[in-house]
Structure 1
Amino acid sequence: MFAVIKTGGKQYRVAANDVITIDRLAGNAGDVVEFGQVLAFGEGDSATFGAPFVEGATVTAELLEQGRAATVIAFKKRRRQNSRRKRGQRQLETTVRITEILTGGAKPAKKAAAKAAAEPEAAEKPAKAQKKTEAAGESE
């Protein structure tokens, strides 16, 4: 099954387990995001198209990494005028893996939601344990 989603002013044709690079989204690696602007979804001849969006359809994805694109150089030169300008631009981008294409108002799978909820708790526990061991070491 495929879906066409809209994000960052662009449209992407995606399927489950696709890895795509899109414009920057807020979040950290491992976070789960939902794309609510689904323009079409389906399989083969049984595709459903929205006007402009399909009601009740969402696409969930997991953030893999935040990064920057390759440098794009803008170079301008006016001949015989001793005038030239060189500028570089690196666009911020996010790499995501599509996990599910949901239709009919369905909710994301529990494993994706549970994974997002469990990671912050797991990250806090080692930090607390580390503080306790440091405090015990200083008191000796």
Structure 2
Amino acid sequence: MYAIVKTGGKQYWVEPGNIIKIEKIDGNIGEPMVFKEVLLVGGEGQLRIGKPHLEGIQVKGTILAQGRSKKIVVFKFRRRKRYRKKMGHRQYFTSIKIEEIKEEGDGT
């Protein structure tokens, strides 16, 4: 079974057991995480698409790490004007392990 969840303005394809890096979300390492904005669920020969979200579907996971990604360099340059500007940026992220995809009210 797989799903597409929306968080941080982006969409992620998830399956149980996957580890994903998403935009930073507050929380401590080891805390459970629940995604309620599920856009699509598929598997076992069927596909359900939300308009815009599927009601009653949750994707559960656990926070593995909080960190910062590799530095990217932003370099601005204007020829013949002696204008050079070098900046760097490191984006914060949260690493999450997907545990299960389940329906609310489901006994499992």
- TM-score in terms of structure 2 length: 0.94
Q: 1:60·1:108 contact (CA, 8 Å) conserved in 2?
A: no
**Alignment partner of 2:54: what SS?**
coil
Q: What does 1:1-140 align with in structure 2 at a 5 Å threshold? A: 1-43=1-43, 45-103=45-103, 105-106=104-105
Structure 1 residue 106: deviation in Å?
Answer: 3.5
1:9-42 deviation line (CA, Å, top 9, x unaligned): 0001100010010000110110001000000112
Q: CA RMSD in A?
A: 1.6
1:40-69 deviation line (CA, Å, top 9, x unaligned): 112154011110000100101100000001
More helix by share: 1
Q: Which runs of 5+ in 2 are unaligned?
A: none
**Alignment partner of 1:102: what SS?**
strand
Q: 1:91 to 1:107 in 2, by over 3 A?
A: farther
- Identity, in percent, stands at 39
Structure number with greater CO (CA < 8 Å, separation at least 6) is 2
Q: 1:65 to 1:8 in 2, by over 3 A?
A: same
Q: What is the number of equivalent residue pairs in this alignment?
A: 108
Q: 1:41·1:47 contact (CA, 8 Å) conserved in 2?
A: yes
**Alignment partner of 2:55: what SS?**
coil
* Distance in structure 2 (CA, Å) of the matches to 1:10 and 1:35: 13
- TM-score in terms of structure 1 length: 0.73
Q: 1:108 to 1:59 in 2, by over 3 A?
A: farther
Greater Rg over alpha carbons, structure = 1
**Alignment partner of 1:47: what SS?**
strand
